[in-house]
Amino acid sequence: MKRLILTILATISPVCGQAAWRAVWVESDPDAPGGAGRIMSREVGKPARPLTGKDLPGTRPLISADGNTVFFSSLRPESGPDGTSYDPLIFSVPFAGGEGKELSPGLALAVRPEGNTSAIYALASLQTGKKPVPTGDMLIKFLPETPGDREIIWAESSVSADNFQLSRDGRRAGGMFPWPQAGLANLEEDTFIPVAQGSFLALCPDDSCALAMLSPDRRKIRIFAPGVTPDWELDPAAHLPDKKAALNHLRWTSDPLHLAFTVPEGESAGVYLAEVRADLKAVTAATRISETVASAMWPDAWLPGSAARRLSLPQKPEIKPPAPTATWPTSTDALVFAWEKSGAPTNTTAFIPEGYALPGRGGSMDISAGRSSAPPVIAEKIASACAQSGAFTLQALITERRSGLPCSRRFITLADAAGQDFCALYRVDGHLVLRLRTGAGESALTERTTLSPFSIEDDRPFFITLTLNGRALTCYADGVKMKDFQLNQAGLATWLDKVTLYAGDSAPYGEIVPGLIGRVAIYSRALAATEAAEAWQAVESQLPARPTRHKVKLKLLTAAPPADASLLNTPATTMAAGTWTVEQVFTGFVKPQTIALLQWSVINGKPGPFPAMQSGQSIELFISDIEDHPELRSLPAQFAEGAAALPLYFDTTVPGRHPAPFPP
- With contact defined as beta carbons under 8 Å apart, do 664 and 612 qualify? no
pLDDT of residue 8: 26
Q: So where are the chain's domains?
A: 22-308, 335-540, 549-651
570, pLDDT greater than 50: yes
Going by C-alpha positions, the residue among 83, 75, 86, 72 that lies closest to residue 39 is: 72
CB-count exposure of residue 529 (10 Å: 0-12, 13-18, 19+): middle
Residue 1 has pLDDT above 90, yes or no: no
Whether the full predicted model's pTM is greater than 0.75, yes or no, is no
pLDDT, residue 325, reads: 60
CATH code for the domain defined by 22-308: 2.120.10.80
Average of per-residue pLDDT values in the chain: 86
Q: Give the percent of the chain with pLDDT over 70.
A: 91
Q: State residue 452's pLDDT score.
A: 87
**HEC profile for 553-604?**
EEEEEECCCCCCHHHCCCCCCEEEEEEEEEEEEEECCCCCCEEEEEEEEEEC
pLDDT tens digits, one per residue of 598-622? 999 999 999 999 999 999 999 999 9
Collapsing DSSP to helix, strand or coil, 380 comes out as helix
User: Which has the minimum average pLDDT: 107-116, 171-180, 629-638?
Assistant: 629-638
- Provide the CATH topology of domain 335-540: Jelly Rolls (2.60.120)
Give yes or no for residue 13 having a pLDDT over 50. no
Using the Cα atoms of residue 383, residue 386, residue 390 and residue 394 in order, give the sign of their dihedral: negative
Sorting pLDDT into bands at 50, 70 and 90, what band is 98?
Answer: confident
Using one digit for the tens of pLDDT, what is the confidence trace for 26-51? 998 766 655 678 999 999 889 999 99
Residue 2 has pLDDT above 50, yes or no: no
pLDDT in tens, 626-645: 878 878 877 888 889 888 78
Quick one: how many helices (H) and strands (E) in the chain? 2, 51
Across residues 468-491, what is the average pLDDT? Answer: 92
State the Cα–Cα distance between residues 554 and 90, nearest whole angstrom.
24
**Is residue 647 scored above 60 in pLDDT?**
yes
Q: What pLDDT band is residue 218 in, cutting at 50, 70 and 90?
A: confident
User: Cβ distance 111 to 65 under 8 Å?
Assistant: yes
pLDDT, residue 33, reads: 56
424-450 confidence digits (pLDDT tens): 999 888 889 999 999 888 888 899 999
Cα–Cα distance for residue pair 144/122, rounded to 1 Å: 12
Q: Give the least confident one: 325-329, 380-384, 638-642.
A: 325-329
pLDDT, residue 139, reads: 93
Question: Which letter does DSSP use for residue 327 in this model?
Answer: P
Looking at the predicted structure, is the pLDDT value of residue 548 above 50? yes
